[in-house]
Amino acid sequence: MKVAFLVGTEGVEQVELTEPWKAVADAGHTPELVSTDSGRVQAYNHLDKADTFPVDRTAGEARPDDFGALVLPGGVANPDALRLDEDAVAFAKGFFDQGKPVAAICHAPWTLVEADVLRGRTLTSWPSLRTDITNAGGTWVDEPVKVCTSGPNTLITSRKPDDLKAFCEAFLDVFAR
């Protein structure tokens, strides 16, 4: 199965991209990097620049039909940039419209707030998103990982890099179904 990783051109938390990417590839799936622009994306280790990664397709070119699942890595600047890009928001929303699984960690649910897909859903995130998630109709919980099936698709969320092992295990379990 092809799995889309949607990120902005700058600000993705590197470990929240690379660890899930490796987990997806190790499970026999094909990860693909989708971003708002072509070229390369600049990852960060918190506030410090880290590595860059090549973009496979832009959000304007990619279609949810081409993928079996979506992973949204975090970082503060990354989802904030994504939520301002109409193509990126529409791409993420398309996975919900098609009932495909979505996994989001840390600040990544900001993109889902913008896509208006959290009503009636229970999820976790970095704690500062609690009010945004609640205002978007979701229920926020403080758990390492939350798998929510009360909607058109399965939504897997996690709080922070320390939760990556549980996050990857949870979304791989869902992707295998």
Give the per-residue pLDDT at 34.
Answer: 98
pLDDT surpasses 90 at 43: yes
| Strand ranges for 8-119 from DSSP E | 10-13, 30-35, 40-45, 48-54, 57-58, 69-72, 102-105
10 Å CB burial of residue 65 (0-12, 13-18, 19+) is exposed
β-bridge mates for residue 10, sequence order: 42
Question: Which pair of structure tokens corresponds to residue 97?
Answer: 């419209």
Active site residues: 106-107
Stretch 51-71: mean pLDDT: 98
The pairing of strands 145-148 and 48-54 is unpaired
Residue (of 95, 94, 131) closest to 113 by Cα position: 131
Give the mean pLDDT of the chain. Answer: 97
How many domains does the structure of the chain reveal? Answer: 1
Stretch 10-20: mean pLDDT: 97
Q: Tell me the residue range of the domain where 49 lies.
A: 2-175
Q: Rounded CA gap, 56 and 46, in Å?
A: 24
Residue (of 33, 57, 68) closest to 153 by Cα position: 68
Give the per-residue pLDDT at 151.
Answer: 87
- Single pTM value for the model: 0.98
Neighbours of 131 (CB within 10 A): 10
CATH code of the domain containing 6: 3.40.50.880
Give the per-residue pLDDT at 22.
Answer: 98
Do residues 148 and 119 lie in contact, with contact meaning Cβ atoms separated by under 8 Å? no
pLDDT in tens, 96-147: 999 999 999 999 999 999 999 999 999 999 999 999 999 999 999 999 999 9
